[in-house]
């Protein structure tokens, strides 16, 4: 860790123009890291652009600096010259960045900061540490080493930590609570942040949740519960995929389930998010289907299949390999 932190700080000192990005459909970890680094780099007097493939979920619009993010078209239109360094947060491979990857990978220096078990090492510098609870934790150690943490950065990093541990329920390490405690020293209000992250859902998302819950299935023998989100549900509730973030955690507390997964319909693709308690390693399932993540939280896609066809493929694999999936 010390080696990577020293390398990245050295790169920051030597260069002046930066692009920050994260994966498609950005979440609380990637977005929070972008905003923390936006603040950090501005303190250093750098020119910084935050560019993402997709828009910002409404629940994260409280993050300091979030209104400075750009879409690709705006960035191309207003960009006065090439960036020297790109920093990519929470992205296991270059493809997950989406269309912005074409710009990112052309910069002279690409810094890849991630904590997924499988990472494509697409950067000039690849700081990949699956032992970290979140990429926000990694950013904490880096920015703290530079001596640049302030209240705004602390709010962003705490949001990352809270999100990627499911509000401190999984991916917990000893240092998780150490970092949380250190961030509290900057005057942030964890209760207020939790309220913004978890308790500001618009009514349309609750209506979507009702439809999702009506699709629940349970396999008592394997202790698995799952649900589906169809394109028609989005249409009926005037929602889209970004509104499903966190909804899988509604299924997780079910007593009868040791594993839960949520299937989301896209064009020519079914996106699957998986969570487990202590019985299953869902990363092994995701890896089989070309995805990745962590033992307790992973994801993947099934292409050119309907929801029912994807459901059949996933359940067939789990039923055949369930003994190999046990922790």
pLDDT of residue 163 exceeding 80, the answer is: yes
- How many C-beta neighbours within 10 Å does residue 303 have? 11
- Report residue 161: phi and psi, to 5°: -60, -45
| 3-state secondary structure labels for all residues of 2-41 | HHHHHHHHHHHHHCCEEEEEECCCCCHHHHHHHHHHHHHH
pLDDT at position 98:
92
The yes or no reply on domain 203-325 and CATH 3.10.310.30 is yes
Largest Cα–Cα distance of the chain, in whole Å?
60
Non-local (6+) Cβ contacts of 25 within 8 A are 53, 54, 241, 242, 245
- Express each pLDDT in 97-138 by its tens digit: 999 999 999 999 999 999 998 899 999 999 999 999 999 999
Q: What pTM was estimated for this model as a whole?
A: 0.90
For helices 190-198 and 151-164, give the axis angle rounded to 10 degrees: 50
**88 or 71, higher pLDDT:** 88
Contact (CB, 8 A) for 121 and 94: no
pLDDT at position 162:
95
Contact (CB, 8 A) for 289 and 299: no
Mean pLDDT of 82-104: 94
Contact (CB, 8 A) for 255 and 279: no
Question: Quick one: what percent of the chain has pLDDT higher than 90?
Answer: 85
Q: Where are the alpha helices (DSSP H) in the chain?
A: 2-14, 28-43, 72-78, 101-104, 135-146, 151-164, 174-184, 190-198, 203-213, 231-237, 248-251, 282-288, 307-321
Question: Quick one: what percent of the chain has pLDDT higher than 70?
Answer: 100
- Express each pLDDT in 47-62 by its tens digit: 999 999 888 888 899 9
- Express each pLDDT in 31-84 by its tens digit: 999 999 999 999 999 999 999 988 888 889 999 999 999 888 888 777 767 899
Nearest to 58 by CA among 213, 295, 242: 242
pLDDT at position 80:
63
The DSSP secondary structure of 170-218, one letter per residue, reads SS--HHHHHHHHHHHTTT--HHHHHHHHHS---HHHHHHHHHHHTT-EE
Nearest to 196 by CA among 40, 34, 28, 21: 28
- Distance, in Å, from the CA atom of 163 to the CA atom of 165, rounded to the nearest integer, reads 6
Comparing 69-73, 234-238, 244-248, 302-306, which segment has the lowest mean pLDDT?
A: 69-73
Average predicted confidence (pLDDT) for the chain: 94
pLDDT at position 77:
76
Mean pLDDT of 208-212: 97
Nearest to 233 by CA among 206, 254, 252, 251: 206
pLDDT of residue 264 exceeding 70, the answer is: yes
Homologous superfamily of 2-198 in CATH?
inorganic pyrophosphatase (n-terminal core) (3.90.1640.10)
CA 232, chain centre distance (Å): 25
pLDDT at position 81:
72
**Sorting pLDDT into bands at 50, 70 and 90, what band is 205?**
very high
Domain range summary for the chain, segments of one domain joined by +: 2-198, 203-325
- Report residue 53: phi and psi, to 5°: -65, -40
């Amino acid at each position: 860790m010390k080696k990577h932190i020293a390398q990245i700080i050295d790169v920051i000192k030597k260069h002046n123009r930066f692009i920050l990005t994260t994966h498609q459909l950005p979440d609380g970890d990637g977005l929070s890291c972008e905003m923390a680094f936006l603040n950090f780099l501005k303190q250093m007097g750098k020119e910084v652009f935050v560019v993402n493939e997709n828009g910002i979920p409404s629940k994260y619009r409280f993050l300091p600096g979030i209104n400075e993010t750009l879409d690709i078209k705006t960035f191309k239109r207003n960009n006065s010259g090439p960036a020297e360094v790109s920093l990519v947060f929470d992205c296991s491979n270059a493809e997950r960045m989406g269309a912005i990857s074409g710009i990112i990978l052309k910069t002279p220096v690409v810094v890849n900061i991630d904590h997924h078990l499988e990472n494509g090492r697409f950067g000039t510098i690849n700081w990949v540490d699956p032992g970290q609870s979140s990429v926000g934790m990694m950013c904490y150690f880096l920015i703290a080493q530079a001596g640049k943490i302030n209240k705004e950065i602390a709010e962003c990093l705490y949001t990352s930590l809270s999100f990627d541990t499911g509000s401190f329920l999984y991916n917990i390490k000893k240092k998780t609570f150490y970092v949380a405690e250190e961030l509290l020293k900057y005057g942030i209000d964890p209760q207020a942040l939790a309220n913004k992250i978890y308790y500001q859902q618009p009514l349309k998302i609750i209506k979507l949740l009702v439809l999702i819950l009506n699709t629940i299935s349970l396999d008592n023998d394997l202790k698995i519960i799952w649900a589906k989100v169809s394109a028609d549900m989005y249409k009926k509730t005037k929602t889209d995929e970004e509104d499903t973030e966190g909804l899988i955690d509604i299924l997780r507390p079910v007593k009868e389930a040791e594993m839960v997964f949520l299937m989301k319909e896209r064009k020519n693709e079914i996106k699957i998010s998986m969570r487990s308690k202590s019985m299953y390693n869902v990363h092994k399932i995701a890896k089989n289907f070309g995805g990745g993540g962590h033992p307790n939280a992973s994801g993947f896609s099934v292409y050119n299949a309907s929801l029912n066809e994807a459901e059949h493929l996933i359940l067939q694999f789990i039923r055949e390999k369930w003994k190999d999936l046990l922790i």
